[in-house]
Structure 1
């Protein structure tokens, strides 16, 4: 009986350690940030957990140095660089609790246990036409509907005349 009680106590202790480690990782993930500056220093971006933009600073000179579409591109690239930095922090935090062979980036992307063929976009479906299955593009129906509606309106126009 004492041996059973000791096993239960050991299991509970392991569970408590695992929960504390999980809580620690959760706190670390919640505090992940990334910061980046544009090459010319005119734009600074800060992102928080999940790559969410939480700060954007533009130099007054940014409006004079860049045309609007160029400035938009600089902002997007700077935010992406900040998000990449935050992603690295996320991967490092997760690496502490993942098995060594697990890729944290794949885990975050949701593809850790999938082969590329399993998560690649597939825009086809199999249709059974009775005698054999046929693969067709999913957008074929949309094209047909557009053609049919165009044809329907053509027929309506002929009937009205």
Structure 2
């Protein structure tokens, strides 16, 4: 059996301490993160102010407000399009706000905040594979 390498052991210990600290931070702050996400509301108004959309952390529609002149200012098809576009902007703003809240607790190097922003699970798995030195077998 080869002798233990003190430098390698110190490096492993340092990495373990880092990962453990990240885990502890996550565990200690997950309750606050859940409360923040549950209470998150993002409000976006159309450029003309006729439509205001409020969505939650998952982009779910919470409230829709139409200005009293919205029907007079826009034909029905144009108003529907304005509502849809404003809702999409609000959904994207909610994704960004959610990712920012998660990034306070979950380390960026995990890829989770970026996954929330882009929804690319493949990129997250490739990052993990690179970190672990995994190469796909063919």
> Please, which runs of 5 or more residues in structure 1 have no aligned partner?
1-13, 116-161
Q: Residue 114 in 1 paired to residue 125 in 2?
A: yes
Task: Tell me the TM-score normalised to structure 2 length.
Answer: 0.64
Task: Tell me, in whole angstroms, the C-alpha distance in 2 between the residues paired with 1:42 and 1:107.
Answer: 30
The structure whose Rg is larger is 1
Offset at 1:103? Answer: 5.1
C-alpha root-mean-square deviation of aligned residues, in Å? 2.2
Runs of 4+ aligned residues of structure 1 deviating over 4 Å after TM superposition are: 14-18
Q: Which has the higher strand share?
A: 1
Residue of 56, 59, 67 corresponding to 1:48: 56
Contact between 1:45 and 1:82, CA under 8 Å: does it hold in 2? yes
Ranked by relative contact order (alpha carbons within 8 Å, sequence separation 6 or more), the top structure is 2
Task: Tell me the TM-score normalised to structure 1 length.
Answer: 0.56
> Please, which runs of 5 or more residues in structure 2 have no aligned partner?
1-20, 127-138
Larger mean Cα displacement after TM superposition, 105-114 or 80-89: 105-114
Larger mean Cα displacement after TM superposition, 28-37 or 38-47: 28-37
Task: Tell me, in whole angstroms, the C-alpha distance in 1 between the residues paired with 2:97 and 2:116.
Answer: 14
In the TM superposition, 1:1-150 aligns within 5 A as 18-101=26-109, 102=111, 104-107=113-116, 109=119, 111=121, 112-114=123-125
For this pair of structures, how many residues does the alignment match? 102
Residues 12-65 of structure 1: CA deviation (Å, up to 9, x unaligned): xx7876433111111111122111111111111100120010111111211111
